Structure 1
Amino acid sequence: MIANPLHAIAEWRDRPGPSGIPSICTAHPLVIEAAMRCIAPTPLPLLIEATCNQVNQEGGYTGMTPADFRRFVEGIAREAGFPLDRLILGGDHLGPNPWKTLPADQAMARAETMIRDYAAAGFTKLHLDCSMGCAGEPVALDDAETAARAARLAAAAEAARPAGGVAPVYVIGTEVPIPGGAMEEIEGLEITSPRAALTTFEVHRRAFADVGQQDAFSRVVGLVVQPGVEFGNHNVIDYDPAAARDLSAALAQMPGLVFEAHSTDYQTREALTALVRDGFAILKVGPGLTFVLREALYGLDAIAEELFPGRRQRTLRQAMEAVMQQAPGNWDRYYHGSDAERALQRHFSYSDRIRYYWPQPAAEQAVAELLALLGDADLPETLVAQYLGGLYPEVRAGRLPPRARALTLAAVERLAADYVAACRG
């Protein structure tokens, strides 16, 4: 059996080198390439995660199965020259969520199929999330039922993983933030209590033992908790180390574990560094990465209109508006207010629900048209300063070529670099 590089993540704090790892939660090829470029010069492995809604046996909203996603990411790695042996694939929120409108027995049967497919495809970090109720059940389940279902999924994964391959590690936890951020403006959060964290750990330990999965439980490396970070459509709640002090201290009673922090998008580099220092060693980021990608693409969109006015039938922003209006399911119930307020949120909210539309053919065509129009020519520094101001210093210093694709990747790399710096301490 090949050792999993994440199996000893709890020990990273006590030895030279990184003490945490970013978890890049995206299926966007430019974001994945940028993450590879950012991680490549460091000693960190690259952890790329897909969610149960993005990727599953039915295709998810990306149209990809776990095996498809693996081929997709590895194809990007080969093109970028990123070593495949430094790549870790993870599955996020693996459980019945995509089928929670069905009765529990049906939803869990589909969840078992899904996690078997993830394990068989060589995903080696698996987040077990069975905290949500299914048809006829409470919205949130109690610890005992959540743990029992998680143990059932772990057993399915163990049975499906390739013989002789890397043994998967698991992340558990019942206090799971809403995937993709909160729907409303948020004023404060209730941090997970140390007692709740310890109870979750112990209940899962017993549940795994009840189904003969003690070996799998020995590879539980992370516990999802709420450290007091979140973002909504309009605002971000920043990490407060003092408020999370007691929760952080509880890790001493759970040897071999770290905390996994979801919704760390939009935290400052200083806050991310503090999170890792305090034991929140797995930092999930997704919408924040596609948010800065959209910023870069919209900046290039404006530059294209300055340089080539009227050359396209419609701008990228106009194309994205049309795509979102034609299929409102991914934003309509999440954005509130007047028509003008909702229009602003469609393009600029922190929850970044526009990210669901980039894989649409019309969106891909609009991006390709924009990048083809700008080509490989050097863009005027003054326009970079006007529309992509955050990248201007690097361009002005000659460290970043002022070309469309390079600027797009650099925008994402800048954010990913905050996570790398935080994990390296």
Structure 2
Amino acid sequence: MQFALNELATLRAEGRPAGVTSVCSAHPIVLRAALRHGRDHSSTVLIEATCNQVNHLGGYTGMTPADFAALVSRLAKEEGCPENLIVLGGDHLGPNPWRDRAAEEAMAEAEGMVAAYVDAGFRKIHLDASMGCMGEPAALDDETTAHRAARLAAVAEASARRAGDAMPVYVIGTEVPPPGGADHTLTRIEPTAASAARRTIDVHRRVFAEAGLKEAFGRAIGLVVQPGVEFGNHNVLRYDRSKIDALKQVLRDEPQFVFEAHSTDYQGADPLTALVEDGFPILKVGPELTFVLREALYGLDLIASDLVPDYGERPLYAAMEALMLAHREHWSRHYHGTEGEQRWLRHYSLSDRIRYFWTAEQAQSAVARLRDALAGKSVPLPLFWQHMPAAAQFSGAPLDLEEVLIWRVTKSLAEYHAACGGAK
């Protein structure tokens, strides 16, 4: 199902709720799977990059927004995915990567980042200036947040006008999950209060109007709120629609908006479908997609260990363990417990912080070795039943590692697609 993002609220008001999957990942296999899936279903492919991951200074991926857009464009051409299906979004665009600096310095960097995103063709812009900078509270009040969001919107508007291209659509507000994901077993999380959602909209509407940005605010399509879903290292809190009756009333009173749901990873088909029906048609997913990618890679690592005499005993797993132990900065603050507990969390946590390591040379070499070991091999059915039962369809034929990985990621994407109303 293809549609413009600004149609989501109208479709909901007409009693025809439809959704879109927001793929938040920079992994080429995940992106390729999303583009192939969009091509095959003629459906909107919304791909988003976050402020820490991609920015004008490179982010942790080393990519600028122009680099990221070029990567998506190249993969789309290779997969035959039409450009008109692709929407690029920027997530949590604001001063967050520089919040250890004074506010003015951090906001100047944020302005440069937003301009770079819009210049590179990103047209869904999540304005998030909610986190405090040096000397400020960790979470800012609505008034300060709105003024900073308006400042960033003015930059986005000016950049789009210079480009002579389509003007951006905006998402405002934020839910603030635990940094890096929860590091303990979750028991409950409360949905955003309706009064808080109304206040966020009201304050932003007024501040944007005062800044001469009424037209820009008219293109605000979404509000980020907490629907009561979250995942941490150990478990998942699934959606309970009985808790959001008051929130749904906000959308009845504010027909311009839909809700954007972050952290929908691992929810499963029924909760995702309920989210779309209840006014959360923008479903963001990231760690789940790289989690299942890792799951498939490790399954194939086991198969190669059993099938190929000189491959060794799980060398991909061993390489990733050595890499993570050598570079603790992406996981040490988030994985706690005994040495044994930290070991399994490094590889299997639902927060999937192993995703930060796949671009490292050591990881890429290990994946290449796995690919070469299995290339063209005919894997016996019993080995798939032992290590990857759901992939048994690939048995008995020359194996292509990338095709197996894309298949596994697509299984998750298909669940989202169906929930969004695309199972036609």
1:411 to 400, 404, 408: 408
- TM-aligned CA deviation for residue 165 of structure 1: 1.1
The verdict on how the C-alpha distance between 1:18 and 1:381 changes in structure 2, with shifts beyond 3 A counting, is farther
Q: Is 1:282 equivalent to 2:279 in the alignment?
A: no
Q: What root-mean-square deviation, in Å, do the aligned CA atoms of Structure 1 and Structure 2 show?
A: 1.9
- TM-aligned CA deviation for residue 15 of structure 1: 6.1
2:80 is aligned to 81
The verdict on how the C-alpha distance between 1:277 and 1:138 changes in structure 2, with shifts beyond 3 A counting, is same
Are 2:180 and 2:334, in contact at CA under 8 Å, matched by a contact in 1? Answer: no
- Structure 2 gap ranges (5+): none
Are 1:132 and 1:140, in contact at CA under 8 Å, matched by a contact in 2? Answer: yes
Question: Partners of 1:96 and 1:203 in 2: how far apart?
Answer: 20
TM-score, structure 1 length as denominator?
A: 0.95
- TM-aligned CA deviation for residue 391 of structure 1: 2.5
Question: Partners of 1:74 and 1:158 in 2: how far apart?
Answer: 23
1:422 is aligned to 419
What are the superposed Cα offsets for residues 181-238 of structure 1, whole Å, 9 maximum, x if unpaired?
Answer: 3232211101101111111001111111121111110110000000000001001000
* Structure 2 residue matching 1:41: 3-state secondary structure: helix
Q: How does 1:84-123 map to 2 (within 5 A)?
A: 84-123=83-122
* Paired residue type of 2:409: V
- TM-aligned CA deviation for residue 16 of structure 1: 9.4
Question: Partners of 2:15 and 2:85 in 1: how far apart?
Answer: 19
2:230 is aligned to 230
- TM-aligned CA deviation for residue 175 of structure 1: 2.9
Q: How does 1:296-335 map to 2 (within 5 A)?
A: 296-311=296-311, 315-335=315-335
Moved more, 365-374 or 307-316: 307-316
- TM-aligned CA deviation for residue 90 of structure 1: 0.4
* Structure 1 residue matching 2:329: 3-state secondary structure: helix
Question: Partners of 1:401 and 1:8 in 2: how far apart?
Answer: 44
Moved more, 279-288 or 8-17: 8-17
Question: Partners of 1:43 and 1:221 in 2: how far apart?
Answer: 23
* Paired residue type of 1:92: D
Are 1:17 and 1:43, in contact at CA under 8 Å, matched by a contact in 2? Answer: no
Question: Partners of 1:70 and 1:305 in 2: how far apart?
Answer: 37
1:347 is aligned to 347
Question: Partners of 1:352 and 1:389 in 2: how far apart?
Answer: 22
What are the superposed Cα offsets for residues 42-96 of structure 1, whole Å, 9 maximum, x if unpaired?
Answer: 2421000000011001100110000000001111111111112211100001011
Are 2:129 and 2:145, in contact at CA under 8 Å, matched by a contact in 1? Answer: yes
TM-score, structure 2 length as denominator?
A: 0.95
* Paired residue type of 2:229: V
Q: How does 1:158-177 map to 2 (within 5 A)?
A: 158-161=157-160, 162-177=162-177
- Structure 1 gap ranges (5+): none
Are 1:101 and 1:135, in contact at CA under 8 Å, matched by a contact in 2? Answer: yes
The verdict on how the C-alpha distance between 1:194 and 1:18 changes in structure 2, with shifts beyond 3 A counting, is closer
Are 2:269 and 2:419, in contact at CA under 8 Å, matched by a contact in 1? Answer: yes
1:157 is aligned to 156
- TM-aligned CA deviation for residue 18 of structure 1: 6.8
* Structure 1 residue matching 2:181: 3-state secondary structure: coil
Are 1:39 and 1:420, in contact at CA under 8 Å, matched by a contact in 2? Answer: no
Q: How does 1:350-389 map to 2 (within 5 A)?
A: 350-389=350-389
- TM-aligned CA deviation for residue 401 of structure 1: 7.7
What are the superposed Cα offsets for residues 138-166 of structure 1, whole Å, 9 maximum, x if unpaired?
Answer: 01101111111111111111111253312
- TM-aligned CA deviation for residue 179 of structure 1: 6.2
* Paired residue type of 1:338: T
- TM-aligned CA deviation for residue 14 of structure 1: 5.3
- TM-aligned CA deviation for residue 247 of structure 1: 1.1
* Structure 2 residue matching 1:424: 3-state secondary structure: coil
- TM-aligned CA deviation for residue 383 of structure 1: 1.3
- TM-aligned CA deviation for residue 376 of structure 1: 3.0
Report % sequence identity.
53
